[in-house]
Structure 1
């Protein structure tokens, strides 16, 4: 196994570094110090052809100007916070609104736009990078100095593991995720509509017109959101269900996971033969089928359009701080926020 470090570009006069992790199977994962962004995940198809299966760019400028969170870590709080505010111990905290009336993915200039410190990891059976960043008290409206460490490791079993750690010196809220867009066709040859998705989930969160949870849990039985036995993504998004139409004719919903660390999320592209298994200790996964990706930019020579990727954002429930029935995302002094997700790539037999 090996790891290669090089300069990816510059941001405000500071160098942005890229780290490429590679195992003996030829799988490569590249990530950069800007936003802990995963720029490339290169894995073999059923014929052994190595291709990239995530959306991304080859330069810093595109990530700053055009990126809809491609491959980035979202925080301090992933997802939307309704009305850009929350209450903690009787104090109201106002957050910048960067998504209509909502606060989205930590706000403007959030974790995805920060330069992180990085340290290489070399052990017997894995290589990786540990990113670290201190979010100052008051940054984007959040209380507390938050110390964050995020580790990416690649092993010989074609597993990419992401571990998140955080501590604070003042009670605050934290809910982190990675926002990679997966497309198993390889190098964007096709969209993800024919990808087959299986999710062990019996409930989703209902969304309102502002795409934030209403607080209601919806059973997925006899709905387009039932992926328990696996089905093609196009079968779900072609539905006339009001929740599908609400988010631009697609999926952008939190799925409560019924199982953990047991192949609870599986994505398959039968044409390429690639298979992705996601296992996590998180409560939910936000599945986003890139319904809003109609933007005037190219992704490595391919014009951006809807359904080019699917995000599998493992996390706590969005907007949980504003819903008493949800498990809160509160982190207090003396506590540690710690969670992990593993992405395992293989091919159909």
Structure 2
């Protein structure tokens, strides 16, 4: 296992703290590239049979794009993932008004100055005694930023093993009662070809219920997946479900999938399996988060330039956001947990990649 580290020196970065790009490299060439901007996953890839690099994660062609990151591609979503309706955050007896960065109505992924666009400090990068590559980034969000309470310190630690297991451990603490709901927003196309839709990917999601959305993507209710395009309890291609239920109001309203699945969390199986049709690449994901939002990329436009000369097209990649119930602070009766002052908060997401 190796870790390479470089400092981004483009003039675009001159007004920011030292911004690192790191590459964690397994002995067989499988690798993960990380970027200080947003503590982001830049690339996940491996040498293909054609001896080129097959990249599995959507990657912009220019590192500077990650400062605006229109897709939140690969970014750490902090302090919160997803939407908080009308920017209203109840904490104890106080109702905090958050910045509303989605159409001036809702707070999305933590507001205008969320941690996805910040340069995180590189805290450590080393190979552990057990031979794993481990990298930690930290950032501090001041009290009142985007309306959230508390001076908040957040750490994300990436660990890559020789068995191609990538684990993200999120830890956070605040000097005031606050709300944390941190996740990652990587997009995947396991074929490495982002010039075509990823809806041929086969999914298995261990969830009996999903969340129906209103037209503004705020939850309406939970529903049984049985007899709906949201039933992935057995392996199915997204395209098969989309073709089977062409008139489903939830699918039409969201240009595909942009929905939360309430995870069963079986001890003997991952929460999610995502596989290429030929079975050559598979990604298994497990997390302690109660919910996973599947976004099938229906709103991705064709203007984003990617590495290897590619550019985005609608549904060219799938995002799996492991998080709390969407809009947990809203008036839906969903579980909602405040983190008390000086009390650690944590979450884990683990990807296991299999190359056949």
Q: Give the TM-score range, shorter chain.
A: over 0.9
Show the counterpart of 2:120: 116
SS at match of 1:243: helix
Instruction: Identify the range of structure 1 (311-320 vs 8-17) with the bigger mean alpha-carbon deviation.
Output: 8-17
Which of 182, 199, 206 is residue 205 of structure 2 equivalent to? 199
Show the counterpart of 2:2: 2
Shift, 1:324, TM fit? 5.7
Change (3 A) 1:307 1:205: same
Instruction: Identify the range of structure 1 (326-335 vs 285-294) with the bigger mean alpha-carbon deviation.
Output: 326-335
SS at match of 1:236: helix
Show the counterpart of 1:87: 90
| C-alpha contact 1:253 1:288 (8 A) present in aligned 2 | yes
SS at match of 2:240: helix
> TM-score, length-normalised on structure 2?
0.92
Please give the alpha-carbon distance, in whole angstroms, between the structure 2 residues aligned to 1:260 and 1:117. 36
Matched, 1:105 2:109: yes
SS at match of 1:24: coil
Quick check: which one's strand share is greater? 1
Please give the alpha-carbon distance, in whole angstroms, between the structure 1 residues aligned to 2:344 and 2:241. 38
Show the counterpart of 1:290: 297
Within-5 A mapping of 1:16-165: 16-43=19-46, 50-65=53-68, 67-100=70-103, 101-118=105-122, 119-124=124-129, 125-165=131-171
CA deviations 1:188-231 (Å, max 9, x no partner) are: 364211110110000011111110112x2110000000001011
Matched, 1:326 2:334: yes
Please give the alpha-carbon distance, in whole angstroms, between the structure 1 residues aligned to 2:337 and 2:252. 29
Please give the alpha-carbon distance, in whole angstroms, between the structure 1 residues aligned to 2:51 and 2:288. 31
Please give the alpha-carbon distance, in whole angstroms, between the structure 2 residues aligned to 1:339 and 1:107. 21
Segments of 4+ in structure 1 off by > 3 A? 44-50
Change (3 A) 1:255 1:156: same
Please give the alpha-carbon distance, in whole angstroms, between the structure 1 residues aligned to 2:283 and 2:324. 21
SS at match of 1:255: strand
Shift, 1:48, TM fit? 7.8
Please give the alpha-carbon distance, in whole angstroms, between the structure 1 residues aligned to 2:214 and 2:332. 17
CA deviations 1:160-211 (Å, max 9, x no partner) are: 1000001111001110110000000024364211110110000011111110
Please give the alpha-carbon distance, in whole angstroms, between the structure 2 residues aligned to 1:54 and 1:87. 35
Matched, 1:232 2:237: yes
Q: Which runs of 5+ in 2 are unaligned?
A: none
Instruction: Identify the range of structure 1 (41-50 vs 56-65) with the bigger mean alpha-carbon deviation.
Output: 41-50
SS at match of 1:303: coil
Change (3 A) 1:12 1:140: farther
| C-alpha contact 2:208 2:264 (8 A) present in aligned 1 | yes
> TM-score, length-normalised on structure 1?
0.94
- Pairs aligned (count): 346
Which of 220, 227, 230 is residue 222 of structure 1 equivalent to? 227
SS at match of 1:253: strand
Please give the alpha-carbon distance, in whole angstroms, between the structure 2 residues aligned to 1:46 and 1:192. 21
Change (3 A) 1:267 1:46: farther
Please report the RMSD computed on the Cα atoms of aligned residues, expressed in angstroms.
Answer: 1.8
Please give the alpha-carbon distance, in whole angstroms, between the structure 1 residues aligned to 2:113 and 2:266. 32
